[in-house]
Every structure is written in structure tokens, then in C-alpha cells.
Structure 1
Amino acid sequence: MIIIRLPIWMGDIPLLSDEIHWFTLGDKLAEGNSMYVDVWDNIAPLSAGFYWVIASLFGTSQAIFFGFAAFLTLIQSYLFNLMMNRSEAYKQKTFIPGLMYLLFSNLSYDFMTLSPTLISLTFLLFGLRNLLRMERTDVEQSILNTGIFFGLASLAYMPSFSFLLMGIFALATFRVSSFNRLFLAFVGFTIVWGSYLVYLYYIDGLEEFVNLCMIAIPDLKHDFQLTWEQMLMLAVIPAVILLLGMFKTFSYNAFINSQQNIQQLMLIWVITATLSIVFSSFTISYQLILYVPALSFFSAHELLIIRKKLLAEITLWTYSLLFLTLMIGTAFDILPKKIASPYQNAWATNVPDLKEYGDKLLVFGMDYKYYKDHKLATPYLNYNVSRQFFKKIDNYDEIRTIYNAFEKDMPDVIVDTNGDGQKLLDYITIIQKQYEKVELENGLIIFSKIK
């Protein structure tokens, strides 16, 4: 893993816009602010907690995020290999599942950063482990633990909620016929979410959480940081490898019933991962990391089924070279001239230097790149959810709330990428008088605080 990732770690790879988003969020929380109360964002709370702890203890940088991501990936690989051997998913005990997991965890270079999806995947694997070890431990406790881990996974990345449904379906199909036992998975999930909602109620953040993360969902614009065509460009090689592994596995007839059940479970995993991406409010390549367990599982089966060792070695090296070429080529933009890097819209590039105007920013728009080397002022980090409330500026209570937020944490610079900043200031003239409008050379409109 280190050898594969070293070029990325040492290379001059641009920051992702989302990475700046997470840095800004972590720094804001590290100042003592509370999520959903002092910071308006619809990112899942457990991931926000990770960014808060990291920002508080280590600061925020791409290198730190790469380091924590590598650590989580190693844990996931070890756990995946261990659970497959203990559940006797293969006809022999082997390190190949763990090896394939480490290899496929580098399919896209943004798999190497600390994304909410990567954090969530750690808990999903613990939930999968409980599904697989059920016959060797207390059934009720394993089912309850499955619900708890899937609940934690959805607290890290909310679309992971769909894996609870996968777990219940798998239990009903392969393991458990009692409705009372199946209900334990939902109880475990409810314990996790119920505890967090009680905490939010205690800090007076429950209403804001519901508004930002639930009620606002129908009105959110889908954030295509990568288009479906760009996602397909990154996914086509892994998809072919996955299909070949599945075909080889399901056409082999020497598996016992428990092994076939695990294979069917991993097939359901693929379907669930697809649903979690489709129903997400954004599209970006690090979401594809949810396929890594299934991809590793079926590829390991394919390699172990091949009887000729030389052919298995050739297959392994072919797969490795294919996805390494894809990863390096797209990360460093080493592609044919007619093919643009799929990350071109996700990279935080071409950011004007606003340091001369001040350190604290508020951005109207989904361009997190402007927060690079700056701090967030006011709670309005995620414009996709905040704009639902900016639309109500003809309401007195809403204007008062916005005014109080400005007064408490006044921005040095307001970056207006879409004209909504001008509309807001026109309504709240007492704030507008404290700023002067500036048009930069590239046409960007900002409002600089009068000193």
C-alpha cells in the first residue's frame, strides 16, 4: 500500500474542493462551535466528529488526512481478511482477500483521503463481520451488534442507511427466520441514532439538525462534482474486474452452502452500494470505495479458483497494472489530449488570493476552494442547505436570525459567486453599510469589510 501511494503522497496533487470543505469544518468545530448549531452543514455527525478531533489535535492538512486514511485502510484490510478466513468463505485460509483489498483501495486517488465514505466503510465492515460470525456466537447479540455498527456507519455517511436494509434482508434470507430476532437489528440502529438525537436535544441542536439534514433534502440541488460520464470513466475497469470475478465464482460448483450464502450476501452488497450512490445528494469518485469489499471478495475467489499458478499470477499483475495506470493517469492528468481528467471539477484550483482583504470568509455558492487558507465566518458553511433559509429573507424572524449570525461572527470578506450575497445585503442594509463592493480582475464579486 505504501509503495502504491508514495507517488501520490510525494506528488503535487491539487486539493479536492471537498478536502477544503472538511478542513474548514474541522477548524470551525475546533474553535468550540457545535455542529448544526454554530455550523450549518449536512455532513454526517460522526465524520464531523472525526474532523473536529483531528483539527484539534493535529491541525488540518492533506498529509494528515492521507495518514489517517492509510491507517483506516490497513485496519479494514486486516479485518476483511480475518472475517473471510474465520467464516471459511474460501476453500482454504489465505491472505489473498486482504491483499486484494489493499490493492483495490487505491483504484482512485481520492480513496486515499479521509472521506466520510471511508470512515463509514470501517463500521460497515464491522457490521458485515457480525453477519458472518453469527453461527459461532450468540445470535441475538450478533444481530444487535449488526444494527449498532450499521447505525454508526450511517452516522458517518448518511446514505449508508441502505446497508441496514441489506443486513435485515440478508438475515431474513440466509440466517434468521424469527421476526423478533430480525427486529433486534433495527433496535441496535435505533440505539445509536436515538442516543445522538438525545444529545442534540440537550445542546438545542435537534431542530437545526432536522431542518438541515432531513427537511432540506427535497430542495437540495444534486452536486455533480463528477458527472456520470466521469464516474463511468473511473468505474469501467473495476466493473469489468468485478464482473469477471463474479462470473468465475458463480460458475464454480464446488462450494458448500455457507460459502454460497456469503457469495449471495456480497452480491447484495454490490446492489446496496449502488443504491447508496444513486440516492446521495452528490456524485464524486470516492463514493466508489463502497465497492472495494465486494471487488476484493470476488477477485480473490477468481484467483484461488484458477488452477495454474502462472495464470493466476498473470491475472493478478494484469489487474494491478490496469488500475494503477488508471489511478496514476487520472491523478496526475497523464491522459490522451482529447480526454480531460475526471477530477477537473473536483480539484480546488485557480483560487484568487484574498488574504489582503482578511482571514474570515463567507462564500455564497458551493465553491469551497475559496476557504483555502481562510476561516469560515458565520455558521453558513454548506450553501446547498443554507440557501433554503436565505430564500426566506422577506421573513422577519429569518432576517433576525441571519443578522444575529453576522453580528456574532462578522466576515472580513463575502465572496458572491452567484449574486445571492448582493440580494441578502440589500435586505439587511445595516450590514451592507459595513462593506464595500469590489470586482476582481477575473470578474469575481466580493464585499470587503470597511476598516
Structure 2
Amino acid sequence: MLRFFQSYFPYQYVSLLGLLVLIRLPLLLNSFPLLIPELNWMIVGEQMSQGDLLYRDIWDSVSPLSALVYWGLDTLFGRSPLALHGAATLVSVFQIVYFNYLTNARDVYPDRTFWPGLFYMLFMHMSFDCLTLSPVLMSTSFLLLAFGTLIRQMERRGATDEVFEVGFYIGIATLFYLPSALFILWAALSLLFYTGATFRQYSLSLFGFLFPVASTILFYYLFDSFDDFNRNLLASVFRVRQYSLSDFQSLIASLLIPLGLGVLGFLSLFNSRNRYGNFQQRVQQIMVIWFVAAVLTIGLMPFLAPMAFLSFVPPMAYFSYFYFENVRKAWLAETGFIIAFSLILLLFYQGSLGLIPGAELGRLSSLQVQKSPLPPNIQNQRILIIGEDLSAYRQNRLATPYLNWDLAKYDLKNLDNYESVINVFDHFRNDPPDYIIDRENVVEKLFQRAPGLAGLYEKTAVNDVYKRK
């Protein structure tokens, strides 16, 4: 396979994308688990389609441009996991083609080849949850565009005013996935060490980064929702841990081969027989800084799952090339790649289709939507879930803004505060839920603090479930 993709002809794009389709085809023909984040994103899009304003009317920590995409998908397709997967495939195709084109057009490697696109495509299948349209996936597209502009600057003797684009792309990436803001440090260090950027050009890059962010802040300020924006997005990045992923074995297994090949590729540079040009060495160094910036985002991730590590794919794919390039015998390189390819796809299909009965490795069970606690006959109702498990929303709709439990705690876990009680009462009055699922034991206290609500609901035969009279 390595030998086939080593040649550089335009028709190889068809082969590369054909391989992508073949890998994903079994999942298109078989249903695979719906994940809690996917359900969360679809609910956000659905609520925005009804005219709700994100952060003010929907308490969630998803970044604004990602929410706009989910809004658009809901408008076109409704609640459709297939729409998320189809859109994610289009984004993946863009990233694979752009990364392969960029590395060859800019002579990032000594030889022109389709290996970069092949590695990139493979690593995007390290786990089945990477097939969905996550904020990280969309954000990484703009980080790649920033990388393309940055290395274009490095080819010249001095930086130009195009450095504005670098900051602008990172600003857009931030509005898709807030932890991507740390990549402005990557851009700043790269400009400092590897270009002849002046103070004016640094300022342009910073302005490019701040412009889309400031425009978004201004939008919420004009809609009198800046406090909601600050609490539910800006401040939440340090506090919100929306889902608990206890399956660290699956996470480590998914990252082991891509990360291992990337590290081996980086280490092989120290014993490389090839002499890389000054420009290629600088690209290697800024990719190391990219990796460090990606590591820093781990502390800001709202949950830990393989999909959250997609920003690691570009440096892992980039350095993996050097590992296979520096293997002296072609058959050893081919054998090693086939083994890595097979193991990654085995875990990928095991997670999505459960090829090995009883084996939980790769299944990400704690992120899967479980069976609804509500009776099967309760569907298409407006409900409120107090807690992390969003499974009951699968067949029902959200009432009140309290979607994200970590954010809802501001009110629902602070019922000794008069203002919080008033907020909850107002939200219930404006959008009363037909059913309340109380997994955090706050309803009884809420009814004590707001007797006007207590008279509207009664307990049902299902534990912790209240029905509107």
C-alpha cells in the first residue's frame, strides 16, 4: 500500500478517497451507537431552529460557530445522525486533500508523495466517534488553513501582511472549539522564531485572531446576553466537564498507534540519512510546537474521548512520514504499515460494530446514549432532565434552557439563593416541561422554594420522574 501511494499523480486522490469510502461503507450499511455529545449537538441545533438564542435560551458550552452548523443541519435534515456523519465525511475529505496538497505544493518533504494524505486519512479512523461532526473536527480545518498560510510566509525572506490570515483562521477555529485559542501561542512562537515578522505584523496577526472573537462578543452584548455568553462559554472552559469517560483503556488504545508512529517519526529525524533543507527543518519545528499546543488543550477539554484529540492528527500524520521514509528496507516499511493499518481498523470496527462479542475495548460505552428511563409511550414531549444522562431526549424535546447539567448547577444547585429560584421559576413559566427527570434530587427542594411549581407537578410510578398535571 505504501508503494502504491508513493507515486504522485492526480488520479491518486481518487484512490485515496475511494479507500476512505471503503473504510466507512460498513458503518453506513449498519447502524452504530448514538453518542451523548451527538444527541447534545442535535438538541442545540433543534432549539436554535425554534428561535432560541444560544447561551441565553440554551445553557450549553458548545462554541457558537459549531452551534450555527448544527442549526443549519437541523434546518435541512432535522435530528439526523446520518447528516452529522455525512457532513463530517465532507470535512474529512477537505482536510485529507488539503493536507496532502499543502505538504507537496510547499515541498515540506524531500519527495512528492501521497503518504501524508494516507497517514492523515488513516489516523482520522482511530475510533468510530471520530466519524461525527465534532467541534474539534471543524476547528482543525481552520488550524490547517492557518498552517498553510504560516508556511507560505516561511518560504519568503520576510513575513508579509498575510499574517493577518493566520490569526483570523485561529480566531475562527476558536469559535468552533474554544480550546483552540491556545494555538495563537503556536502561531506567535512560529512567527517569532521562523519568520522575520515585525511588531506591526505581530499586531496584525493578533488583530486577526481577536476580530472574529470580538465580533461574537459584541453580538451577544447587543442582544443583552453577554453575561450568559461569559458564563456558559468563556468561563465554562475551565469548569465544565460534561461527560465522564471512564473507558480510558479505549482512549489509550485509540491513540497508541497514531501517537506512537508520530513519536517514532520524530525520533527518526535524529538518525536520518536524509539532509533536509532549512525550510523543511523549520516546518518540523513548528509542527513540534503544534503538538505542544495540542497537548495544552487537553486540560480544557469538556470530556475525554478520541474525537477530542483530532487536533493531534496533523502533527502525528506529518511525523509518521519520516518514520516510514527512514526504514531502510521497503518490505519492512510495508509490513509495518499494514500491521498498523489493520490494528487501527480493527479497533475502529470493534468500537462501532462490536466485532468481538463481550469485548468493551473501543466501545466508549459511557458516551453512548442509553435506554430512556421514560416509558416507551412517552415521546415527542417537552421534558427536563436534571443530570448528565440525556438519553430521554432521544425521543423527546428540551424544555427550559437547562441542557448542560454542569451549567444548570448555577441555578438548580443553588436554590438557597433567591435569584436562582426566581430564574428557575421564570424558565418553568416560559417553557414548562411536561415531564421532569430528577437524577440529582433537587426537585423536592425546588418545590419547597417555589410552591407555585409544586402544585403543577405530581410524582409518577417511575422513580424520580414528575409529570405535569
The normalised TM-score by structure 1 is 0.93
Moved more, 187-196 or 137-146: 137-146
- Taking the TM superposition and a 5 Å limit, the aligned residue runs for 1:244-263 are 244-252=264-272, 253-263=274-284
8 Å CA contact retained: 1:226, 1:342? no
Give the number of aligned pairs: 447
Q: Does 1:122 align with 2:141?
A: yes
CA RMSD, Structure 1 to Structure 2 (Å) = 2.1
8 Å CA contact retained: 1:226, 1:346? no
8 Å CA contact retained: 1:357, 1:412? no
> 1:61 matched to which residue of 2?
80
> 1:264 matched to which residue of 2?
285
Structure 1 residues 354 and 422, CA, compared in 2 at 3 Å: closer, same or farther? farther
> 1:161 matched to which residue of 2?
181
- Taking the TM superposition and a 5 Å limit, the aligned residue runs for 1:4-403 are 4-135=23-154, 139-216=159-236, 219-221=239-241, 223-252=243-272, 253-306=274-327, 308-335=329-356, 340-354=361-375, 356-357=377-378, 359-403=381-425
* Cα distance per residue 1:14-37 (max 9 Å; x no partner): 100111111111111111111112
* Deviation of the 1:439 alpha carbon: 4.1
* Deviation of the 1:136 alpha carbon: 5.3
Distance 1:94 1:37 in 2: 49
Distance 1:343 1:274 in 2: 22
Distance 1:223 1:353 in 2: 21
* Cα distance per residue 1:395-430 (max 9 Å; x no partner): 333322221211111111111111123322332121
Moved more, 310-319 or 116-125: 310-319
Moved more, 174-183 or 185-194: 174-183
Return 5+ residue gaps in structure 1 as ranges. Answer: none
* Deviation of the 1:233 alpha carbon: 2.8
Structure 1 residues 95 and 218, CA, compared in 2 at 3 Å: closer, same or farther? closer
> 2:459 matched to which residue of 1?
437
Question: SS state of the match for residue 224, structure 1?
Answer: coil
* Deviation of the 1:184 alpha carbon: 2.1
8 Å CA contact retained: 1:233, 1:342? no
Distance 1:139 1:368 in 2: 49
8 Å CA contact retained: 2:145, 2:169? yes
* Cα distance per residue 1:44-94 (max 9 Å; x no partner): 111111101110122121111110000000001111112111221111222
Structure 1 residues 200 and 124, CA, compared in 2 at 3 Å: closer, same or farther? same
Structure 1 residues 125 and 196, CA, compared in 2 at 3 Å: closer, same or farther? same
Moved more, 401-410 or 301-310: 301-310
Return 5+ residue gaps in structure 2 as ranges. Answer: 1-19
**Aligned residue type for 1:178:** T
Distance 1:276 1:217 in 2: 10
Distance 1:77 1:182 in 2: 30
Moved more, 162-171 or 236-245: 236-245
* Cα distance per residue 1:124-182 (max 9 Å; x no partner): 11111111111457933321111011011111111111111111111111113533322
Distance 1:363 1:282 in 2: 19
* Cα distance per residue 1:230-265 (max 9 Å; x no partner): 422322222222222222234214111111111111
* Cα distance per residue 1:206-234 (max 9 Å; x no partner): 11111222345555456422454442232
**Aligned residue type for 1:113:** T
Identity of aligned residues (%): 29
Question: SS state of the match for residue 161, structure 2?
Answer: helix
Distance 2:235 2:42 in 1: 26
Question: SS state of the match for residue 110, structure 2?
Answer: coil
Question: SS state of the match for residue 415, structure 1?
Answer: strand
The normalised TM-score by structure 2 is 0.90
Q: Does 1:410 align with 2:423?
A: no
Moved more, 276-285 or 305-314: 305-314
8 Å CA contact retained: 2:33, 2:369? yes
* Deviation of the 1:338 alpha carbon: 6.9
Moved more, 98-107 or 64-73: 98-107
Structure 1 residues 180 and 226, CA, compared in 2 at 3 Å: closer, same or farther? farther
Distance 1:125 1:386 in 2: 35
